[in-house]
Amino acid sequence: MFFKKYKIQQTPKSSKTVPYGLWILWVIVISFIGIKAIDTINAIEFDLAEVAPTYLAPLSETPLASDTEQELKENINILVLWRWGWNHDAPDLTDTIILASIGKTAISLLSIPRDLYVTYPDSNKTGKINRIYETYKPLDPEEAIEKIKEKVTEITGQEIDYYVNVDFEGFVEIVDILWWVDVSIQENFIDYQYPTSNGGYTTFILRKWDWTLDGDVALKYARSRHSTSDFDRSLRQQEIISSLKDKALSLGYFKDSKKIRDLYGALKKYVETDMDISTLLRLALDFKASQNKELLSFNLNDTCYIGSPICSKWGFLYVPLREIFGWQSVLLVDGTDVTRLSNYKNLETYMSLIFDQREVFSFPTSLSIYNATSTPRLAGSLANTFKKYGIPLPEDGWLGNIAEKKFEKSILYYNGISSKNATLKFLQESLGFEIQETPEPLYSDTEINIEIVLWEDFEPVEYLDINEL
């Protein structure tokens, strides 16, 4: 069977007249995923003359439209929810939960698995995290948002500033309006049990290739569960967000007034947010000024079980016995069980790393680990722990033994970098080792900037804890 790239013919959509406040909303929603929302304020006003002529005057009178000196807070945390929507038997299930933290130079995206089993806020009720919004919405939709925000804050330690709530059907329409989405499939992608609208299944296949997908196929790619895993699915969703950002930046999208009208209509219909006009404009201007923000992807998964000889990154979850949870397929955070579901201590350092010390990933620093004791596999044990946190490690030549010298205690040697280097600082705080600068690597090749030497005072750790210092 031969597969072509998808090139879907667009059907013209009717334009709509929209209020000024909602016009600002589409600017920021698109800006949020990294799209250059403003080429110039005047150009945007001209294109919108056909969309909302009655509301253009307030835009020019808004001081934030020209006052670029007003700054955003250092990090803005936005909770992104994708729910099923009206054409699904459970329309308010939030099967995609992403916390986006927008910093000065990078955006961290953390996907929280829908099957994470939690205690519901202000309640004795327990269940999967994707049902919190569904549970509270019939009583009060705003309260439902606050409950899911509260739980995500409890898990991550991050206060949430705003939310964006998107209908999956809106996702399809937005992708089509944005001239589809590009993805690169590294291995053949096959799901033999992709659910259909009539309750059955179909086979969904994407061959290894660089594809341009329309909205329907992009949704299948983002939703597919049986091709890989829920954890890989969360990263595919983040991949699509990143691709939409790159595509819009390269297309000069905002010079097409019809596209602007179509996109605005879709956002008005399918997207909810609580961002105020002031923040909307400042965030849009911030994206205009720094459109090359790096997008860093993270998730939580169960790939690093206790006793695993090779740990995979972000493996902070485990699968409990299903009979305890009514035979549901659920996930728990390491260190929790059915009697203490809200014990998230083992996540604290990971969350601090990806949200507050993201320079470790934006500007990775090479390191090596050496065992100077007679205890076997000490360096490998620490490397395994590092992998769980996603700390970048060289592909080879970064583990070794030192037999010719005795040390007073474990130490971090560094060269060619500042003592304020993000990776060095994190290692010092999490391991509690002293640091010492050297003119060049002592035990490694010239490309290594940090050398970790383990001595007899070091005890293997499964989790890093920066709070002990």
- DSSP string of 73-113? -S-EEEEEEEE--TTSSSTT-EEEEEEEEE-SSEEEEEE--
Helical H segments across 315-413, by residue range: 348-356, 359-362, 378-388
- What integer pLDDT is reported at residue 188 of this predicted model? 82
- Determine the residue type at 356: D
Terminal CA-CA length for the chain: 60
Round to whole Å and give the CA distance between 266 and 274.
17
Q: Could you tell me how many helices (H) and strands (E) the chain has, helices first? A: 14, 19
Residue 95 CA: distances (Å) to CA of 81, 84, 119, 361 = 8, 8, 17, 27
Q: Which residues pair with 80 in a beta bridge?
A: 98, 164
Rounded to 5 degrees, what are φ and ψ at 137? -60, -40
- What integer pLDDT is reported at residue 146 of this predicted model? 96
- What integer pLDDT is reported at residue 155 of this predicted model? 97
**Beta pairing, strands 411-414 & 434-437:** parallel
**Is CATH 3.40.50.1110 what the domain over 366-468 is classified as, yes or no?**
no
CA 163-177-193 angle, to 5 degrees, is 75
**Percentage of residues of the chain with pLDDT beyond 70:** 73
- What integer pLDDT is reported at residue 63 of this predicted model? 41
Question: If you ran DSSP here, which 8-state letter would residue 259 be given?
Answer: H
Round to whole Å and give the CA distance between 221 and 161.
30
What tens digit of pLDDT does each residue of 31-54 get? 443 333 333 333 334 334 443 333
* Nearby residues of 287 by Cβ (< 8 Å), 6 or more positions away: 31, 34, 35, 36, 37, 38, 293
Angle between helices 215-223 and 230-251 (to 10 degrees): 150
Question: Domain 20-73+167-297: what homologous superfamily?
Answer: LCP protein (3.40.630.190)
CATH 3.30.70.2390 in the chain is located at 366-468
Round to whole Å and give the CA distance between 75 and 107.
9
- What integer pLDDT is reported at residue 270 of this predicted model? 83
Does residue 417 contact residue 336 with C-beta atoms inside 8 Å? no
- What integer pLDDT is reported at residue 449 of this predicted model? 95
* DSSP 3-state of 116: strand
Q: Which residues pair with 78 in a beta bridge?
A: 100, 162
- What integer pLDDT is reported at residue 79 of this predicted model? 94
Round to whole Å and give the CA distance between 192 and 373.
52
Length of the chain: 469
Alpha-carbon Rg for the chain, nearest whole angstrom, is 24
- What integer pLDDT is reported at residue 253 of this predicted model? 53
Does residue 224 contact residue 204 with C-beta atoms inside 8 Å? yes
Q: Can you say how many angstroms the Cα of residue 144 is from the centroid of all Cα atoms in its chain?
A: 22
- Determine the residue type at 439: P
* Regions of the chain where pLDDT drops below 70: 1-72, 85-89, 197-199, 225-234, 237-238, 245-257, 260, 277, 280-281, 284-285, 287-292, 305-311, 467-469
* Nearby residues of 376 by Cβ (< 8 Å), 6 or more positions away: none
Q: Which residues pair with 394 in a beta bridge?
A: none
Residue among 394, 362, 381, 256 at smallest CA distance from 308: 381
Does residue 393 contact residue 383 with C-beta atoms inside 8 Å? yes
Round to whole Å and give the CA distance between 282 and 291.
14
Establish how many alpha carbons lie within 13 A of residue 412's alpha carbon, considering only the half-sphere containing its beta carbon: 21
* DSSP 3-state of 278: helix
CA 315-318-324 angle, to 5 degrees, is 170
CATH 3.40.630.190 in the chain is located at 20-73+167-297
